[in-house]
Structure 1
Amino acid sequence: MVKQERAARTKENLIRSAAEVFEREGYAVASLTAISSQAGVSNGALHFHFASKEALAREVEQAAADVVHKLAEASRAAAGGLLHSLVDATARLLAAVAEDPLVRAGFRLGHDPSRKGGDGGLWRWWSAWVQDLLVQAQREGELARGVAPADVAAAFVAVTAGFEVLSSLEGGWLSPERAGRFWAFLLPLLAAPHPPPSSPSSPGASG
């Protein structure tokens, strides 16, 4: 049991260290020697857990996906409507990209041009999740008339991807203030108008 726990900790440490190296140097330049050194283990220990750099990259992507899936589902579970869930999920996602090299590496590995196995997996999942949520929001009457969920999802994912890419040049792109201004602009264009609540003097109001 002790050996299994130690092996599990070593594997997790290698995944985290690989994420940091992939995120810092890119997939092509990153070496297994640099990753094992970052993790404080031997090359032999790394190869015991991972047969190749590609196998390690896939594990990084999966670990990042687990984090993103959990934050997205936490947003769905929050009260306040589906559009509110999208706002909350975006804030959580941008915070995770800003703070966690594992999440940054997971997104960037998916579209690294030097990697044959990259298929944009995490971005594909995020795009599908956003579109599914917007379709449900349309069914629930939360979207304004004429708003097409597929079109909004495409534009929205493009903007959030742009935030992630630009953050490598300027960290402010992932700030809560930037996200707040983005939603302040976009949300009034998406949300269905709601009638004002009845006041005591309104016709039909209970007195």
Structure 2
Amino acid sequence: MREANFLRYANNVVARMEENVSLFPDCEPPLSVLKGTLHRLSRAMAEAQFRDMRCVAIKNQLLRIHKEQLYRLSLYIAQVAQGDPWIILSAGFATNKPYATIGAAPKPHNLRVQVQMQRPGCVRCRVDVWKKATGCRFEYRKVGDVLWNILFTTKSSCEISGLQSLEQHEFRVAYTSSNPTITYSSVVSCYVV
């Protein structure tokens, strides 16, 4: 988190804690300590903008101290909240998004196989991007073979080499995700140079 964003986040935490002080009677560190450090940090950040090395060192020290204080406060809030997102939000902290499972990956569209004329036995495969994919599973085989060769990649394109020249090959692709179901694209056939 950038320093300016951290300062806004910290200000929000202190403001929410002041508004809901009755929910957190024995907060650790105390709210007065948090406010004091935050005030000194705000001043130090303003002074450090002029690149005075002494001011930058003071700002960095106060930033480290305030981060430690917010971390200790977050442990206290977690203990009080017992997982209740309303209490966590009342303290000004952000809650984690609940884990959402994705269904089966969709059928990949627009599989393109480009023969590399300068490199015998080599093709370049690409498919449209699906943002939720962790990668792609490209498969290929010579026409007539039963088994597919598999190539995993984290990108939506790959280069396949070592193919037999002047032979027809088949290619297909599937997106990989947290769901183990495999949905293949349509098969694309082409002759390899």
Q: TM-score, normalised by structure 1?
A: 0.22
Using the size of structure 2 for normalisation, the TM-score is 0.24
Higher strand share: 2
Question: Greater helix percent: which structure?
Answer: 1
Greater gyration radius: 2
